[in-house]
Structure 1
Amino acid sequence: MVRFPKPTCEWVLHVSRSRNEQPWCVKTFLDNHTCLTIRKVRLYTVSAIAREVESILGSNPGIPLLALQDHLEKKNQIQLSLQKTFRAKVMALHRIEGDFKAQYSILREYCEELLGSNPGTTVKIHVERECNHASPTRQFRRIYICLGALKEGFKVNGRRILGLDGCFMKGPFPGQVLSAVGIDSNNGIYPVPYLIVEAETKISWEWFLGNLGDDLGLDQQSYFTFISDRQKS
């Protein structure tokens, strides 16, 4: 028995079906309202909204929150709060993209796959101990990746110049992505290594360039040019 929106209203809809799973049958229907109609539906929960918007976010995860709210209200002819829409969007994105902490926990497995499928690849992970030194877990700090094929190809055909740049990461675990991009013999862009660091600091840049120098075989006598994002050599 469902009464909408108040128990004192005469509007009644009663449906049921038999045990042999026959289609639903309307037993009672009184289409007579004695109350003001509202558009707030309590049964339209956050989990129900999340299931509905999964297909939308799968193809357009960056859809604005107001646009998503307007779409749901027009489609279902209901009133939906912005906070409820936000919670449903977060839940749907969590189902689509997975848990960030769970992704970090399988980082070593990802590195093992890179090493197994790309011979000569260099992967280095820097972690920190927890406050409790007896704890077996470690806190992720930064990671450096240089694929073997890109490394060997740059040594053979790359020009002795690299551009260094970084970009910010958004999400619950922010950081920065640093990369070194060279030029091949055909004047095309040639990516070499990439890494994720906690921030663009002197320590992170030293760690990056030290690993890059080891991969490319650079020393104090090497003749090489580095250009930063501000074009300062």
Structure 2
Amino acid sequence: MVTPSLTRVDLPSTSNIGNMIGSDISLPEQGRLLDFTTRLPIVPFDDAGFTNADLSLYSCSVDDPIDIAINQTFEDKSRCQYILRQFTIRNNFQYKVFYSTKKKFTVACMEDKCEWRVHASRMNGAGIFKIKTYKEKHTCGMSWMKSDHRQASSKLASELVVNRIKQRMGLRPKDIIVAMQDKYNIVISYNKAWRAKEIAIDRTMRFERCFVALGQCVRSFQTSLRRVLAVDGTHLKGKYKGILFVATALDGDNHIFPVAFSIGESENSNNWNWFLTYLNDSLGNLPGLVIISDRHKSLIKEVPQVFQASIHGYCAYHIYRNLVDTFKDKSLEIYYWQAVKTCRRADFDKFMHHIELANPLVHAWLREIGYEKWASSHFPGKRFNLVTTNIIECINALFKEARKYPVTMLIETVRLKIQEMFCKRRESASSFVGPLTPWAEKQIKDLIPKARDVCCHAISRDEYYIVGDYNDTVKPMSFHVHVVSLK
């Protein structure tokens, strides 16, 4: 048994995902191979903690001037709050938040009788914040001051060491405590230092995204499967949030066949473009390729842009759910699905006429989406009756528990599930008799009784003139006549 190879991966050079994904990449004939055995180096801090040389790694210098004034502007609210924290720490007093919304906030000195106060608000038409009111005179004493400053938050402490995190791993909370004491003469708690470390690591060493396609899956899709791919994304659960992007096909026995998957931070145009680009690179140029997806605005934009030679169809189930949510009308379900599945234009027009009579707004809404995107009779390519992305739901169920795992464990679980799936199918396939799979044989057997009621007259090797009725009950003297092409 050949071990599947990972054909493509893209990771940040200093990704902190358990230090299990390595950076040793080789380039075999089929894509790229990821070596899971190589680990990223870990350089621990020595017992001395911070040294004088480490001061250059601080995110801001101790001597940086910090001041505030009326009419002073900041790029956003967060920056304004950061400067205020720095200002109060360096001037040895604390403030409390008197009022705060997305558009404005007011802070005042911790001493109730003190007149010191700052009010800032967002400027019209921009995210820029401007100090509108500033009473700089203090009328309080220092008897209420404590060693642990109110504005010395975990986020502020993380800013102090973020550049250090970028260059070396192994930072300890007590190193952050020492750094805060050296720079601000403030002693923060161990818990606050620990949270600061977590914030700094999350900002600088956070996993971004990866793409995985097993070599055998890609080659099988290229050479042996129907060229229809369903793509969708599902949310990761538990502590580790993100999106699992999946591209799935159906094999010869109509079972789900995972082709590729990716993990990203969110479902947006940038991540969809990244996933589809790597998927396109892995599959190569496949004539007649069909991509089926829901109508997420990012997919509507990115699929035609990346797969320029493919045909993009929409999931009929998602369209139906949107129809019900928009018009609150389930009475048209039968006519809708008949319009989706029929292959004859005459029948499609009949079903759409029923919809128009019942609800003209629904008819206009479906027409605006584009019949060629969801109706089999108008679809310009071969989608082999795959009108929904429901096969993705099967994948979601298969990986339900794995979606709670950290990234490296999730990747390994997905790979193991696929391995077990193919092993079972290989054993099952060894018992097949004849050139067709059990599913394909059943499809043919179900059509034989209907085929007895029609007559086929050859026009050429690939075209036939069909006379008959495809209904289960044939009505005397009621026949349909049309031409079928096998090209």
Tell me if both proteins adopt one fold, taking TM over 0.5 as the criterion: no
Compare CA radii of gyration and give the structure with the larger one. 2
Higher strand fraction (1 or 2): 1
TM-score, with structure 2 as normaliser: 0.22
